[in-house]
A = this chain, B = another copy of it.
Amino acid sequence: MSVEDNSFEITFLPDNVKVKAIAGESIMEVANRGHIHVNASCGGEGVCGRCQIELRDGEVSASPGLYLTEQDFAQGLRLACRAKAAGPATFYIPIESRADASSFKKAAKAEENLEVEQRDPMVLQYLLEMTPPDAADNVADLDRVTQALAAQGLTDLDVELAAMKLMPQTLRDEDFKVRASVFFEPPIADPNQTPYGRLLSLSKAKLDETYYGLSVDVGTTSVWVRLVDLATGEAMPPIGDLNGQISFGEDVISRIVYASKGDGLKKLQSQVIATVNGLLARLEETNPGFRENLYLITAAGNTTMSHLLVGVEPKNIRLSPYVPPVATWPSIRPSFLGLDVSSHTVMKIFPSVSSYVGGDIVSGVLASGMYKSEELTLFIDVGTNGEIVIGNQDWMTCAACSAGPAFEGGGVKCGMRAAPGAIEIFNYEPEAKKHHLGVIGRGKPIGICGSGLINIVAELYRCGVVNKQGRFVENSSPFVREGEDGIEYLLSPASESAGDRDVVLTEIDLENLIRAKGAMFSGYQTLVEAVGLTMGDLERVIIAGGFGSSLNLENAIEIGLLPNLPLEKFYYIGNSSLTGATLAMMSRSMWALAQDIRGRMTNFELSETPGYMDKYMASQFIPHTDASLFAK
């Protein structure tokens, strides 16, 4: 028997590649040897679960493990990195396990930076060691405390009612050695002025005790919070939940409309408060009693979400000339809003630039660092309301553009949010006239999410099934057919779908997507040209917000949503609204910087800016009427 006698053949579908293997090799190794890409974020350590493959025939040595249920296993699913070759076998590599190669590796570089130059939060703690009173020195408790703070340079103090009430007992329990938590409030008119101090509470003297800040991103769809130990600067992982307001409308406009009817404002406010309270309750599980030591909340949200959080009627936000009631918020006592926090907790809300460029964008720009960079940067947050900021350390312009809901799966016949069942990845084989679907959660398809829509249209455009005008090319594919709403592309027949209907892409969907991407692109152009530059001058693109994480850059450029720059110029910074809020919570200078950034952002109302409509019309092609903008 020769050595070769021990070898056998492993077949990988759908590409039907055969590779020799010997018993005991991992299937991952075998696939790599055959240049078959299988996802493996963890590098083959068996801890990411992304290398799932399907055993179609033959045998392999494996056990279910962490990422596969008994049922998955019974259906043939294996982890390529953990399964050991044991004899001839045939594996099918699902599209999701090929995703890194086909899609995700073209995503923007992710980065988040929570470093601050100086940790000087708006709430500071002071150790006060006072001489207990006696007959010769019986000034009031509060005078003793303010004198002790004055000795540390704090001469200009106001005092919270709650702090005052607990003070006599705390002082005596702690024998007049206490920790004073003082909130420094920059007057809103001039954030650089000496801050006004406010004694929030007195507590046990132990200075090494954790005291917390909480950053909150109040999104239209989701709310995220992040707890930070202000003493050490340690930030805990963010946690999030759907904004409870979602059942009253999916976008800000529908929320504003709802708020203006009856007690709608009150209802919406209580919904978002309940959402944050739910997150606080979850934090309580991992950080029991943290609320006692929670002093500061920084919150960033779009203009509408900020108003609904505080309970200020937002209707003028959407009425011309688009005047929000409040852009710069005074300090708020969140306990008065109904948040389950102590009365000593104060909240700062990020300032907005305009009705549709909100505190979340100011916070995002703070997190992005673009305000201090020499590079001409395009910052975008893609969504129903797309926000755009262009500029660098010297100047910044911003605008909001009403892209419509296509990026979030709205206004699309089979559109849905990026949830299990949504088609997100799509490959088309022009010769075989076949397509492959990547579905979130790996089940049967239900519909198409926003990033899926971009990927599908880009692929169909590339393969000649969709033309420049955003129409299906006749006879280009067996899936193009006449449907209820005109010509459509059949992605998945009802029989193969989780719902009871065909999942299709219609020409109306194409129109909506083109309108949406055109609105964004003509926004960039308008801002760039407003300062006398061209798109070619852009040196960097920063993508913020949840949408960016699943965005395939090549596809987004292909359809004309993103400008045509080398892929390495794109950065994805995740939930920059939360990151910026966290930075500002850890550092008073960062908070002051946010005010400064807000003041430096020149807002353009695109609908009122000359030239915008022409640019918008010119953008209604794939990728654009002006092909030179997307020349490869």
Which A positions have Cβ atoms within 8 angstroms of B?
133-135, 137-143, 146, 150, 155-161, 164-165, 167-169, 172, 185, 187-190, 193, 196, 310-313, 315-316, 320-328, 330-332, 336, 352, 354-355, 605, 608
- Nearest CB on B from A276, distance (A): 17
With A158-B185, A161-B336, A167-B325 known, 15 other A-B pairs at CB within 8 A are A138-B321, A138-B605, A139-B323, A140-B328, A141-B316, A141-B323, A146-B328, A155-B189, A157-B187, A157-B188, A158-B188, A161-B332, A164-B326, A168-B316, A196-B196
Check A142 against B326 for contact (C-beta < 8 Å). Answer: yes
Check B310 against A161 for contact (C-beta < 8 Å). Answer: yes
Nearest B-chain residue to A146, judged by Cβ = B189
Nearest B-chain residue to A337, judged by Cβ = B161
Check B165 against A312 for contact (C-beta < 8 Å). Answer: yes
Check A323 against B133 for contact (C-beta < 8 Å). Answer: yes
Instruction: Report the Cα distance A150→B355, complex, angstroms.
Output: 23
Q: Which residues of B contact A331 (CB under 8 A)?
A: 158
Check A321 against B133 for contact (C-beta < 8 Å). Answer: yes
Instruction: Report the Cα distance A501→B164, complex, angstroms.
Output: 50
Nearest B-chain residue to A315, judged by Cβ = B168
Check A138 against B188 for contact (C-beta < 8 Å). Answer: no
- Nearest CB on B from A110, distance (A): 34
Instruction: Report the Cα distance A315→B169, complex, angstroms.
Output: 10
Q: Which residues of B contact A328 (CB under 8 A)?
A: 140, 142-143, 146
In the complex, which of the residues B155, B188, B316 contacts A190, with contact meaning CB atoms closer than 8 Å? B155
Instruction: Report the Cα distance A310→B331, complex, angstroms.
Output: 23
Instruction: Report the Cα distance A432→B172, complex, angstroms.
Output: 65
- Nearest CB on B from A135, distance (A): 5
Copies in the complex: 2
Nearest B-chain residue to A159, judged by Cβ = B330
Which of A139, A150, A311, A323 is most buried by chain B, counting CB atoms within 10 A of its CB? A323
In the complex, which of the residues B140, B146, B150, B311 contacts A324, with contact meaning CB atoms closer than 8 Å? B140
Check B187 against A156 for contact (C-beta < 8 Å). Answer: yes
Check A327 against B188 for contact (C-beta < 8 Å). Answer: no
Check A135 against B330 for contact (C-beta < 8 Å). Answer: no
Instruction: Report the Cα distance A332→B161, complex, angstroms.
Output: 7
List 14 contacting pairs A-B, 8 Å CB cutoff, sorted by A: A135-B320, A140-B352, A142-B326, A146-B328, A155-B190, A158-B187, A159-B188, A161-B330, A164-B310, A165-B312, A168-B315, A168-B316, A168-B325, A169-B313
In the complex, which of the residues B133, B143, B327 contacts A142, with contact meaning CB atoms closer than 8 Å? B327
Q: Which residues of B contact A172 (CB under 8 A)?
A: 316
- Nearest CB on B from A56, distance (A): 62
Q: Which residues of B contact A193 (CB under 8 A)?
A: 156
- Nearest CB on B from A238, distance (A): 28
Nearest B-chain residue to A155, judged by Cβ = B189
Instruction: Report the Cα distance A310→B323, complex, angstroms.
Output: 39
Check B165 against A313 for contact (C-beta < 8 Å). Answer: yes
Check B141 against A324 for contact (C-beta < 8 Å). Answer: yes
Check A188 against B146 for contact (C-beta < 8 Å). Answer: yes
- Nearest CB on B from A302, distance (A): 14
Q: Which residues of B contact A336 (CB under 8 A)?
A: 161
CB within 8 Å for A141 and B325 given contacts A165-B311, A313-B168, A332-B161:
yes
Check B188 against A312 for contact (C-beta < 8 Å). Answer: no
Instruction: Report the Cα distance A150→B328, complex, angstroms.
Output: 15
Q: Which residues of B contact A330 (CB under 8 A)?
A: 158-161, 164
Which of A172, A313, A326 is most buried by chain B, counting CB atoms within 10 A of its CB? A326
Instruction: Report the Cα distance A585→B283, complex, angstroms.
Output: 46
Nearest B-chain residue to A316, judged by Cβ = B168
- Nearest CB on B from A191, distance (A): 11
Q: Which residues of B contact A327 (CB under 8 A)?
A: 139-140, 142-143
Closest 6 CB pairs of A and B: A140-B327, A168-B325, A159-B330, A138-B321, A135-B321, A133-B323
Q: Which residues of B contact A312 (CB under 8 A)?
A: 164-165, 168
Which of A320, A325, A328 is most buried by chain B, counting CB atoms within 10 A of its CB? A325
Instruction: Report the Cα distance A165→B135, complex, angstroms.
Output: 49
Instruction: Report the Cα distance A391→B167, complex, angstroms.
Output: 34
Check B168 against A322 for contact (C-beta < 8 Å). Answer: no
Instruction: Report the Cα distance A203→B109, complex, angstroms.
Output: 52
- Nearest CB on B from A548, distance (A): 28
- Nearest CB on B from A584, distance (A): 19
Check B196 against A164 for contact (C-beta < 8 Å). Answer: no
Nearest B-chain residue to A198, judged by Cβ = B330
Which of A150, A161, A187 is most buried by chain B, counting CB atoms within 10 A of its CB? A161
